[in-house]
């Protein structure tokens, strides 16, 4: 894979908002995307040792290595422009502490932000960045 791939929950409103934010702050089009629920997403999950139905974490795949939770978000932030890049400062917080916050948001994301019945379809202007 030439580009890092972000696997995310395609029915989660919060997750979709974050991906849209990443797309807006990634002018070099560094990242590719796939819904965790898609065939491409499930295949990548299995290839990297995860259950195909895993939905509790974003997964970032870079050069054949998979990163989850805040390790993934910190690596994503390092490639974004503007204030989004400040996310790299999380690396100074111990992983066990920062992942507690991540897990709280992950457990409550549907309750707090809602969800769709099906995965959101990418708009034509970004469709080429989504794995099918």
Checking if the pLDDT of 26 tops 90, the result is yes
Checking if the pLDDT of 110 tops 70, the result is yes
Average pLDDT of span 75-99: 90
- Domain positions in the chain: 5-129
Report the pLDDT value the prediction gives residue 86, as an integer from 0 to 100: 85
> Ramachandran region of residue 121, left (φ > 0), alpha (ψ -120 to 50) or beta?
beta
Taking every pair of Cα atoms in the chain, the longest distance, rounded to a whole number of angstroms, is 40
pLDDT band at 8 (very low <50, low <70, confident <90, very high): very high
pLDDT band at 89 (very low <50, low <70, confident <90, very high): confident
Report the pLDDT value the prediction gives residue 130, as an integer from 0 to 100: 95
Q: Which is more confidently placed, 2 or 98?
A: 98
Residue 102 vs residues 70, 74, 76, 96, 97: alpha-carbon distances, Å: 7, 12, 15, 10, 9
Helix (H) or strand (E) holding 61: strand 59-62
């Amino acid at each position: 894979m030439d580009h890092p791939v972000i696997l995310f929950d395609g029915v989660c409103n919060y997750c979709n908002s974050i991906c849209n934010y990443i797309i807006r702050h990634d002018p070099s089009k560094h990242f590719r995307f796939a819904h965790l629920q898609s065939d491409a997403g499930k295949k990548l999950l299995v290839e990297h040792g995860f259950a195909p139905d895993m939905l509790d974490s974003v997964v970032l795949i870079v050069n054949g290595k998979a990163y989850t939770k805040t390790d993934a978000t910190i690596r994503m932030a390092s490639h974004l422009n503007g204030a989004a890049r400040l996310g790299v400062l999380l690396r100074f917080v111990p992983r066990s502490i920062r992942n507690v916050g991540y897990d709280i948001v992950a457990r409550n994301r549907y309750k707090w932000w809602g969800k769709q019945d099906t995965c959101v379809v990418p708009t034509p202007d970004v469709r080429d960045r989504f794995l099918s």
